[in-house]
A and B are shown apart, each in its own frame.
Chain A
């Protein structure tokens, strides 16, 4: 199959799974929610609807190629950083630093990804922005909570912009024998990590009874974690044909990124708990905010990127 045919086959597969999910959701609602409305079924159905929307968005971005993917993830970064800073207690003295972060740092980071300048985009936010934003905040001479404010702004950028930009950065990797197919690496990453989230949710609902981190998230269970990670790893191995990996390697990398994705969910839950909120926002119906949906991809993307860059790319 050509890369385009593989991409189309993949999207058709996802559409088939979503169709089954929609049918199941419809039947559940008819069967059980008709007499007594159920919050779980409502939430399930709005999640499935939102998945159709998100898959369509990614499909459109893929159709536009590299430019489409970069624009999509740049917008996702802006939305995620916006949610992060909304829940961060910044002060007036941070205003200039935040304006620079939103309107200069985000576009510049994605521009550097666009021109494939690996040497700069991999240090731009961790080094230059790190030093610059602290300076801008210091110039405003407001010392109250200074360290905390500067650190949280930087953390928000690392999570919502730096880490996330490693998804489109996959398009710049040069892997011998895999030319012209890098979009499929993004498809692999997003598909495996997001399926892991969904499968952890499903396994947790069906068989979960031991909480894995009750102080962070009441809905995460040991059974959900094990079942979700195992089945997403198997899915990754089965998807080896869209990657430059062997089936065994594909499974190992799928395990690596599902674990990172799980850690991302834990860390971001800890922050939400501390801030006293359940969701980061309300942009995606049934899911919460952009950060709620992308927390796992954010943690998996840089590790996935560097694993491939080190072992497979030129």
Chain B
């Protein structure tokens, strides 16, 4: 667990459409986790999610991003990354992007289930990565996804 002063500066990035539905979710999302809420609907949104994240970074906050954009229900170790990570890396090139593998997170509470099961979770941190000067979007997203998947423990907990 992070020490309290760091925890106060660390915020998850989450979907506004989910976390703004109902008073309880709003309280948990904004009050408890102090989430940076972004609008996933590119058709109707008025603010750019990458700008929202960059603004939080400018306030010296650390962000927890889930670059798959949703929970993984496939048999792959990770879904392809969404492009937000690339746009953020281009907008704030000095920010360290640290891959973090959370083992068993998906088994504790798969998408669509209501009761979490209390498994032991381990968190593995990798070396920070940065966007190369001439790196293409697809290549960067693929490279960062591989950096994450490489952290998965090899003891066969994956289905």
Tell me the minimal C-beta distance from A72 to chain B in angstroms.
18
Q: How far is the CA of A95 from the CA of B156 in the complex (A)?
A: 18
Q: How far is the CA of A281 from the CA of B157 in the complex (A)?
A: 14
Q: Which of B111-135 contact A (CB under 8 A)?
A: 113, 115, 117-120
Contact B118 A102, beta carbon cutoff 8 Å: yes
Contact B158 A89, beta carbon cutoff 8 Å: yes
A128 is an interface residue with CB less than 8 A from chain B = no
Partner of B154, one of A102, A103, A276: A276
B159 is an interface residue with CB less than 8 A from chain A = yes
CB-CB contacts of A256-286 with B at 8 A, as 1s and 0s? Answer: 0000000000000000000111000100000
Q: Which of A88-116 contact B (CB under 8 A)?
A: 89-92, 95-96, 98-99, 102-103
Contact B73 A92, beta carbon cutoff 8 Å: yes
Contact A95 B113, beta carbon cutoff 8 Å: yes
Contact B157 A89, beta carbon cutoff 8 Å: yes
Query: What residue of chain B has the Cβ atom nearest to residue A83's Cβ?
Result: B120
A287 is an interface residue with CB less than 8 A from chain B = no
Identify which of B115, B155, B159 gathers the most chain A CB atoms within 10 Å of its CB: B159
Contact B156 A86, beta carbon cutoff 8 Å: no
Contact A82 B110, beta carbon cutoff 8 Å: no
Q: How far is the CA of A87 from the CA of B103 in the complex (A)?
A: 11
Chain A residues lying within 8 Å of B120, measured Cβ to Cβ, are 82-83, 86, 281
B20 is an interface residue with CB less than 8 A from chain A = no
The interface size bin for chain A is: 20 to 34
Identify which of A86, A89, A99, A144 gathers the most chain B CB atoms within 10 Å of its CB: A86
B83 is an interface residue with CB less than 8 A from chain A = no
B107 is an interface residue with CB less than 8 A from chain A = yes
Partner of B119, one of A85, A89, A275: A85
CB within 8 Å for A275 and B155 given contacts A83-B120, A85-B117, A103-B115? yes
Identify which of B73, B104, B155 gathers the most chain A CB atoms within 10 Å of its CB: B155
Contact B117 A98, beta carbon cutoff 8 Å: yes
Contact B118 A87, beta carbon cutoff 8 Å: no
CB within 8 Å for A99 and B104 given contacts A82-B120, A83-B120, A89-B157? no
Q: How far is the CA of A83 from the CA of B120 in the complex (A)?
A: 7
Partner of A144, one of B110, B118, B155, B159: B159
CB-CB contacts of A65-91 with B at 8 A, as 1s and 0s? Answer: 000000000000010001101110111
Partner of A87, one of B115, B157, B158, B159: B157
Chain A residues lying within 8 Å of B154, measured Cβ to Cβ, are 276
Contact B117 A99, beta carbon cutoff 8 Å: yes
Query: What residue of chain B has the Cβ atom nearest to residue A100's Cβ?
Result: B115
Query: What residue of chain A has the Cβ atom nearest to residue B154's Cβ?
Result: A276
Q: How far is the CA of A277 from the CA of B103 in the complex (A)?
A: 15
Q: How far is the CA of A209 from the CA of B156 in the complex (A)?
A: 33
Contact A82 B118, beta carbon cutoff 8 Å: yes
Chain B residues lying within 8 Å of A90, measured Cβ to Cβ, are 107, 159
Contact B156 A102, beta carbon cutoff 8 Å: no
Query: What residue of chain A has the Cβ atom nearest to residue B113's Cβ?
Result: A95
Tell me the minimal C-beta distance from A275 to chain B in angstroms.
6
Chain B residues lying within 8 Å of A281, measured Cβ to Cβ, are 120
Q: How far is the CA of A42 from the CA of B134 in the complex (A)?
A: 51
Query: What residue of chain B has the Cβ atom nearest to residue A78's Cβ?
Result: B118
Tell me the minimal C-beta distance from B57 to chain A in angstroms.
34
Tell me the minimal C-beta distance from A152 to chain B in angstroms.
12
Q: Which of B24-53 contact A (CB under 8 A)?
A: none
Contact A95 B110, beta carbon cutoff 8 Å: yes
Q: How far is the CA of A132 from the CA of B155 in the complex (A)?
A: 29
Chain A residues lying within 8 Å of B107, measured Cβ to Cβ, are 90
Q: Which of A20-72 contact B (CB under 8 A)?
A: none
Tell me the minimal C-beta distance from A82 to chain B in angstroms.
5
**Can you list 7 pairs linking A and B with CB atoms under 8 Å apart?**
A82-B120, A83-B120, A85-B119, A89-B156, A99-B113, A99-B115, A144-B159
Chain B residues packing against A (C-beta within 8 Å): 73, 104, 107, 110, 113, 115, 117-120, 154-159
Which are the 10 A-B pairs with shortest beta-carbon distances? Answer: A276-B155, A99-B115, A86-B120, A92-B110, A86-B119, A98-B117, A91-B159, A95-B113, A82-B118, A99-B117
Given contacts A83-B120, A144-B159, A277-B155, 5 further A-B contacts (CB under 8 A): A82-B118, A85-B117, A87-B157, A102-B118, A281-B120
